[in-house]
Structure 1
């Protein structure tokens, strides 16, 4: 086709008829068409020439045509590409169905352009076989992408996705045209995300109607050349989306710190750079191989299908997920929540994992109501909990009873209005398995999804019979509970008060269904680097929470030490260190420059005039938020607290809890301005003090001092 255009331009003096005959000598025109060629206008000649070349490119032959009222009109006979004949199948009687091959193109009737065609007849010119997902740079940090149905686009980076036409699926969540754009975080710390084109059904529309609709939808985003390109290469029943560069306070805040900026950076430039790589690089993403994306096993797909169907029938099932560390519980939870949000307005979520929390900083047990999709790792979507308790540690070793009591306290607030998804710890051996049995008895789930893989030690199947016959840490088995007497089954052996029995939605364990899922999720963690990765994720979760301190985008980004803190009097709050026994004379040393939980207890602090006020034991109370105690004024007897908590909620805070969750060192070391000795960061301290810990020496990344060098300095 391109060669014919060149040939047409070489001899501009020839007539239109001679040029067409020279380019396509085998095309047959009627005598009437040839005789009336000279009376055509210039525009009609251009349209005729375009139709001739298009017909020949599709394998057409011009036989005849001279409909009344037209200068030259012909009928095009389409020849399909030669393909092997399909297997013979019985077909119902009646006229043959129209062809749906992608190599053919059905034209409208020239005598009646408004005649609609069947959906199977609607198809556009197919893209080259080597380019199934064409990408076009729109400028201003935007890229247009077209996805055929069933095709996927796996990428790394951060972008904002807008569905212009069709339907998309990301992480189990379906985005339809007209819905607001979604920020998608596909970073290398987790498996890469894939944008999939979802087949959809549409009413019968003509080819011209579809083109007109696509042009109208693209007009606010693209230029005329871009719209023509889309219409030319648009696949049948495909989807059109626009990818934009993300500019939010969260992303800008994380990029200012070395311990988190490398998470958002792309890998090195590959040896082969093409136009697509350059276009995607402008918005901060890069195409990746499909095998590096999230992969669900057959058993995982079946479990998801059953849980979603049950949510439609039952309405409010309680689903508990369990399994070893780094086996894919959080990933399965996100896919399940996203798929549930496709059909219901909200999903409740109970977080029982202290070390790797999903929506809050680490060390919390919380209950949340999720209404928006989860399109990234945990630190990219912090949420405000419906109820939260600050445990203060990353595990519950030697404090099991307090852990169980906190879980009961938080679970009591569940109203059974939406399905509940429960996430548990990855500790499933020894006492961890017994603690998991206690959780199943206390929470009484309807479904237990048990994830396993070939690389982990096999754990017993947590059937109802196994839970009935196994002693937990604080609950007894069915045999011990009854001691041989036949009495009706009611409740577990945990002593509920009368108020707990009335308010607890499911106080009786009535059995559950076990769904075994074989995990095929990719994980970069192993026994050697697990502690390092978990520490990085905890720091990212803390930084994600602190990013809420930043003002909206038009305002300049300010460092944390330049923000004005709140002044909290000693007499207004009580203080407690949850993870260690600290002498009362050293309490303020432990609180200063620490991560504190802002809590609300039942006791009133108004009767105290001096301070600080110390609590004798760890309270079970609501945690409203978190902050940094950036200083203590001993003369005025006030704490300086930096927190994103609004003033109306901060007025109700009357307790500060200090746990083992530390502030990321990059917050101290990367603040612009201070020169010389950095405040609160030193290696010259006495480890023999109660509550002291070697925090800096334990860092394995950033600019922290390695442990062996720290020991040499002390010597």
Structure 2
């Protein structure tokens, strides 16, 4: 490799120097040395000495030779016939920078490049690693990190108009509104929260083209997720005319697209006060002030001009867009398609499913979303598999749209490793509910003015990122249960590794008990259309890391659920989901008044599930439930045998099994803030009753149906146990505010433990008992 580098340097040298050999080379080097100054001669001497040292270090070892010159005992190896001695060679790709310097210096010495002219030429001809790896070059990284996101330039009273309340009513909007006017091919990237409506034309947002109309869309754009970018698109509907607007606004008809933006008051920004590592995610950070501006006059909304640290725009690869467009194209409106998405973690499955739901809502009135990823859920807290009916586009990460689904089952853990049978049974029950109750709606209340397809509801299935071992088997069983019409696979195996039509057909008779969509005798069953997609990390060359892990997003989703405010209006309509409208973060969870529930009257049974749950005796059930997250389960009458425990006052039986998913459902989660006993002194006997203090955002009408409590492995994040009000007042998590003391929080330690206490240091937990590739 060194000789090859030297040859390239020699080829770039002058022809006269390349022909000098023998005594002539010595004479030239001697004359050049004598004509140079003493300082230059000493500098060249030191460089030559350094070159010899580096050359000595980089000396290639002979076969079976150690660096100190001794030889290995190779007689034993040479005597074997099945061993082939191979000479050691340097790897070209792993050559370090100092070896390149050695090669360059040798080329200078051997070919007489000691003059200033030759030195400048060799400096310009230095090998650049970017020629081999263009994505590692500083120019490429600089262009990716500073690419322009917003081409729209705000000019007041020209393409930016501020309307008061009366002027907004002329457009059919409520409250002060800002009109943003786009010309052709202009774009706008935003950070924060707002509400939008399309006034004129059309705009593309997160892979969805929004046409003008009366629909209003909430936008949630935190720094922890890719930022939405508004792009002007051509409209397919005629432009509206406005007659009641002032003269200064009548010029908006000359623009291609006009959108109305106004403030969104939901309180979702307050979640950063609870979960400190997500604090200020709806605002630019200190190093992003140069690229963030506030031209809209709306609190909590910023315009992002260029990419910056921890800021990345929403990017939909062209291959994804083409695959979604071809799959969601309505060919036969009598059938309801089923889309199955699978692949490893961090590949973009949730983004693809969210984009697919948004595009399906342009053609269908509602879309069913089956969430099989209990670790990174979309509409529910972690540990729940759910079937949610979506009726409006989604513009925001999962923690911004928690929903109370009509069909859900509580698994109680973030991985199905400990309970795979319960996980499969829950998904099978959800698929059966989809086929019987949702797939073909019997009636629709608001189908008069809607031109979309309403008599059928498509299905989108998102799977977990565990694709090896047991996880691969579970995903394959789910795919057989769903019998999808379209499969999106982020893996890249050979095409032959896909299950053949005959193999799927043979499994249908066995899986009929799980509620499969078809069977081998069903003539309408056909082979699914499989599409291979590249993961988002390989398609997009530069994705700034937000710095948040999957556990952080899971904790934020759990906290967002408990602080969410759901609609109290109970609608008997099967197809209306119940999304969160606002978030109330005025008080921490430790200061919210809980429900006081008598276990003997309100609940029929308390069940523990998960690893080690069968070892909990009746005397310890109160300690186990204290501070736990439980699932509120509604069961059909006669499914479980009710038990009453007189000792603890809690209807708990050791080693009880969870109710079957086919006869039960989860109505919500609750936090057991505390367990207390109330003693009543009678004439002859002294009786006591056990009270559970529950905190849950579920409406009261939902709670009346829950008669069973199930505790799994879910835990409340540490941020949910703290009183954030003390931090706002004192700057620390301690102190006393409104009677809540931070130092008195149970099982929490403030500050450093005193010296001499065993277990005070942070211990490293080893979780590598089995390699990832062996799972």
TM range (shorter): 0.5 to 0.7
Matched, 1:652 2:705: yes
Matched, 1:594 2:641: no
SS of 2:370 mapped into structure 1: strand
CA pair 409-554 structure 1, distance change in 2 beyond 3 A? closer
Matched, 1:368 2:393: no
CA pair 516-184 structure 1, distance change in 2 beyond 3 A? same
- After superposition, give the CA deviation of every residue in 1:145-179 in whole Å (9 maximum; x if it has no partner): 11224332122222211222222332234434342
CA pair 543-166 structure 1, distance change in 2 beyond 3 A? same
| Conserved 8 A contact 2:366-2:389 | yes
CA pair 189-250 structure 1, distance change in 2 beyond 3 A? closer
Matched, 1:324 2:355: no
> Which residue of 1 is the match for residue 420 of structure 2?
400
Matched, 1:265 2:283: yes
Counterparts of 1:525 and 1:658, CA distance in 2: 38
Counterparts of 1:616 and 1:598, CA distance in 2: 16
1:537 equivalent among 553, 563, 571: 553
- Quote the RMSD (CA, aligned, Å): 3.7
1:576 equivalent among 600, 607, 632: 607
SS of 2:532 mapped into structure 1: strand
SS of 1:539 mapped into structure 2: helix
SS of 1:653 mapped into structure 2: coil
Give the Å deviation of 1:189.
1.5
1:564 equivalent among 565, 587, 593: 593
> Which residue of 2 is the match for residue 154 of structure 1?
189
Gaps of 5+ in 1: 1-127, 453-457, 469-476, 479-488, 685-702
- After superposition, give the CA deviation of every residue in 1:646-665 in whole Å (9 maximum; x if it has no partner): 22321221211222222122
> Which residue of 2 is the match for residue 506 of structure 1?
518
In the comparison of the two structures, how many residue pairs are matched? 519
> Which residue of 1 is the match for residue 570 of structure 2?
none
> Which residue of 2 is the match for residue 435 of structure 1?
474
CA pair 267-312 structure 1, distance change in 2 beyond 3 A? farther
- After superposition, give the CA deviation of every residue in 1:455-482 in whole Å (9 maximum; x if it has no partner): xxx44548654586xxxxxxxx67xxxx
CA pair 619-461 structure 1, distance change in 2 beyond 3 A? farther
Give the Å deviation of 1:300.
1.1
> Which residue of 1 is the match for residue 317 of structure 2?
297
- After superposition, give the CA deviation of every residue in 1:79-102 in whole Å (9 maximum; x if it has no partner): xxxxxxxxxxxxxxxxxxxxxxxx
SS of 1:264 mapped into structure 2: coil
Counterparts of 1:232 and 1:646, CA distance in 2: 48
Counterparts of 2:342 and 2:610, CA distance in 1: 26
CA pair 712-560 structure 1, distance change in 2 beyond 3 A? closer
Counterparts of residues 192-207 of structure 1 (less than 5 Å):
192-201=227-236
Deviates more, 1:247-256 or 1:576-585: 247-256
Gaps of 5+ in 2: 1-150, 165-174, 441-456, 568-580, 679-688, 726-737, 764-775
Matched, 1:675 2:741: yes
Counterparts of 2:289 and 2:278, CA distance in 1: 27
| Conserved 8 A contact 1:568-1:639 | yes
2:461 equivalent among 410, 413, 422: 422
CA pair 573-461 structure 1, distance change in 2 beyond 3 A? farther
> Which residue of 2 is the match for residue 242 of structure 1?
260
| Conserved 8 A contact 1:327-1:451 | yes
Give the Å deviation of 1:389.
0.7
CA pair 653-544 structure 1, distance change in 2 beyond 3 A? same
Counterparts of 2:588 and 2:326, CA distance in 1: 48
Deviates more, 1:175-184 or 1:639-648: 175-184
Matched, 1:285 2:299: no
| Conserved 8 A contact 1:574-1:655 | yes
Give the Å deviation of 1:575.
1.9
Give the Å deviation of 1:270.
5.0
> Which residue of 1 is the match for residue 12 of structure 2?
none
SS of 1:412 mapped into structure 2: helix
| Conserved 8 A contact 1:147-1:197 | yes
| Conserved 8 A contact 1:549-1:643 | no
> Which residue of 2 is the match for residue 633 of structure 1?
676
> Which residue of 2 is the match for residue 116 of structure 1?
none
SS of 2:657 mapped into structure 1: coil
| Conserved 8 A contact 1:598-1:626 | yes
CA pair 260-467 structure 1, distance change in 2 beyond 3 A? farther
> Which residue of 1 is the match for residue 770 of structure 2?
none
- After superposition, give the CA deviation of every residue in 1:61-94 in whole Å (9 maximum; x if it has no partner): xxxxxxxxxxxxxxxxxxxxxxxxxxxxxxxxxx
> Which residue of 2 is the match for residue 31 of structure 1?
none
Matched, 1:547 2:567: no
Counterparts of residues 7-26 of structure 1 (less than 5 Å):
none
| Conserved 8 A contact 1:356-1:362 | yes
Counterparts of residues 346-365 of structure 1 (less than 5 Å):
346-365=366-385
> Which residue of 1 is the match for residue 717 of structure 2?
664
Counterparts of residues 380-529 of structure 1 (less than 5 Å):
380-415=400-435, 416-417=439-440, 418-452=457-491, 458-461=492-495, 465-466=499-500, 489-492=505-508, 494=510, 496-497=512-513, 504-508=516-520, 510-520=526-536
> Which residue of 2 is the match for residue 114 of structure 1?
none
Matched, 1:623 2:676: no
Counterparts of 2:303 and 2:276, CA distance in 1: 22
